Amino acid sequence: MKPDLEKAISMVISTGKVKLGYNAVLKSISSGKVKTAIISNNLPLKLKRILIRNCNLSQVPIIQYEKNGFDLGAVCGRPHLVSALVILDPGNSKILDYLQ
Protein backbone atom coordinates (compact mmCIF):
# COMPACT_ATOMS: atom_id res chain seq x y z
CA MET A 1 0.00 0.00 0.00
CA LYS A 2 1.32 3.41 -0.89
CA PRO A 3 1.89 5.42 2.30
CA ASP A 4 -0.48 8.26 1.55
CA LEU A 5 -3.49 6.23 0.39
CA GLU A 6 -5.13 7.10 3.71
CA LYS A 7 -4.57 10.82 3.04
CA ALA A 8 -6.09 10.42 -0.42
CA ILE A 9 -9.15 8.64 1.03
CA SER A 10 -9.57 11.41 3.64
CA MET A 11 -9.33 14.03 0.90
CA VAL A 12 -11.99 12.25 -1.16
CA ILE A 13 -14.28 12.11 1.88
CA SER A 14 -13.91 15.85 2.48
CA THR A 15 -13.87 17.19 -1.10
CA GLY A 16 -15.43 14.50 -3.29
CA LYS A 17 -18.53 12.37 -3.39
CA VAL A 18 -18.59 8.84 -1.98
CA LYS A 19 -21.03 6.20 -0.85
CA LEU A 20 -20.17 4.04 2.14
CA GLY A 21 -21.25 0.52 2.96
CA TYR A 22 -21.56 -2.75 1.11
CA ASN A 23 -25.21 -2.37 0.04
CA ALA A 24 -24.73 1.20 -1.21
CA VAL A 25 -21.63 0.08 -3.10
CA LEU A 26 -23.48 -2.74 -4.86
CA LYS A 27 -26.30 -0.41 -5.92
CA SER A 28 -23.88 2.27 -7.12
CA ILE A 29 -21.68 -0.02 -9.19
CA SER A 30 -24.41 -0.70 -11.73
CA SER A 31 -25.13 3.03 -12.17
CA GLY A 32 -22.07 3.57 -14.37
CA LYS A 33 -21.04 6.67 -12.41
CA VAL A 34 -18.49 5.01 -10.12
CA LYS A 35 -14.82 5.93 -10.61
CA THR A 36 -13.44 3.23 -8.29
CA ALA A 37 -14.33 1.01 -5.34
CA ILE A 38 -12.29 0.51 -2.18
CA ILE A 39 -12.69 -2.63 -0.09
CA SER A 40 -11.20 -3.49 3.29
CA ASN A 41 -9.21 -6.65 3.89
CA ASN A 42 -11.73 -8.13 6.33
CA LEU A 43 -14.76 -8.04 4.04
CA PRO A 44 -16.18 -11.59 4.22
CA LEU A 45 -14.99 -13.71 1.29
CA LYS A 46 -18.48 -14.40 -0.09
CA LEU A 47 -19.35 -10.69 -0.13
CA LYS A 48 -15.94 -9.80 -1.55
CA ARG A 49 -16.45 -12.24 -4.46
CA ILE A 50 -19.88 -10.76 -5.24
CA LEU A 51 -18.52 -7.22 -5.13
CA ILE A 52 -15.48 -8.06 -7.28
CA ARG A 53 -17.66 -9.88 -9.83
CA ASN A 54 -20.00 -6.87 -10.10
CA CYS A 55 -17.07 -4.48 -10.41
CA ASN A 56 -15.56 -6.61 -13.18
CA LEU A 57 -18.87 -6.76 -15.06
CA SER A 58 -19.28 -2.98 -14.80
CA GLN A 59 -15.57 -2.32 -15.45
CA VAL A 60 -15.11 -0.54 -12.14
CA PRO A 61 -11.53 -0.66 -10.83
CA ILE A 62 -10.95 -1.84 -7.25
CA ILE A 63 -8.47 -0.58 -4.68
CA GLN A 64 -7.69 -3.13 -1.95
CA TYR A 65 -7.31 -1.33 1.38
CA GLU A 66 -4.79 -3.42 3.32
CA LYS A 67 -6.23 -2.70 6.76
CA ASN A 68 -9.53 -3.74 8.30
CA GLY A 69 -12.92 -2.06 8.11
CA PHE A 70 -12.53 -0.30 11.46
CA ASP A 71 -9.34 1.38 10.19
CA LEU A 72 -11.09 2.30 6.94
CA GLY A 73 -13.96 3.74 8.97
CA ALA A 74 -11.51 5.82 11.00
CA VAL A 75 -9.90 7.15 7.80
CA CYS A 76 -13.39 8.08 6.57
CA GLY A 77 -14.09 9.91 9.84
CA ARG A 78 -16.72 7.38 10.93
CA PRO A 79 -16.89 5.78 14.39
CA HIS A 80 -17.88 2.42 12.89
CA LEU A 81 -16.73 -0.24 10.45
CA VAL A 82 -16.70 0.63 6.75
CA SER A 83 -16.19 -2.52 4.71
CA ALA A 84 -16.45 -0.89 1.30
CA LEU A 85 -16.94 2.45 -0.38
CA VAL A 86 -17.25 3.80 -3.89
CA ILE A 87 -15.96 7.05 -5.25
CA LEU A 88 -18.37 8.93 -7.47
CA ASP A 89 -16.29 12.11 -7.65
CA PRO A 90 -12.64 12.20 -6.52
CA GLY A 91 -12.77 15.89 -5.59
CA ASN A 92 -9.30 17.34 -4.99
CA SER A 93 -7.68 14.00 -4.18
CA LYS A 94 -5.23 11.93 -6.19
CA ILE A 95 -7.05 8.69 -5.35
CA LEU A 96 -7.31 7.63 -8.99
CA ASP A 97 -3.48 7.43 -9.09
CA TYR A 98 -3.78 4.29 -6.91
CA LEU A 99 -5.61 2.26 -9.54
CA GLN A 100 -3.81 -0.91 -10.50
Q: Could you give all domains of the chain from N- to C-terminal order, each with its CATH number?
A: 5-89 (3.30.1330.30)
Confidence of residue 3 (pLDDT cuts 50, 70, 90): low
- Interaxial angle between packed helices 22-29 and 45-58, expressed in degrees from 0 to 180 and rounded to the nearest 10: 20
Could you tell me the pTM of the whole model? 0.90
Each residue's pLDDT tens digit, 36-95? 999 999 999 999 999 999 999 999 999 999 999 999 999 999 999 999 999 999 989 888
Each residue's pLDDT tens digit, 7-42? 999 999 999 999 999 999 999 998 889 999 999 999
Phi and psi at 21, nearest 5°, equal 100, 145
Determine the pLDDT at residue 98.
77
Confidence of residue 97 (pLDDT cuts 50, 70, 90): confident
Whole-number Å distance between alpha carbons of 50 and 39: 12
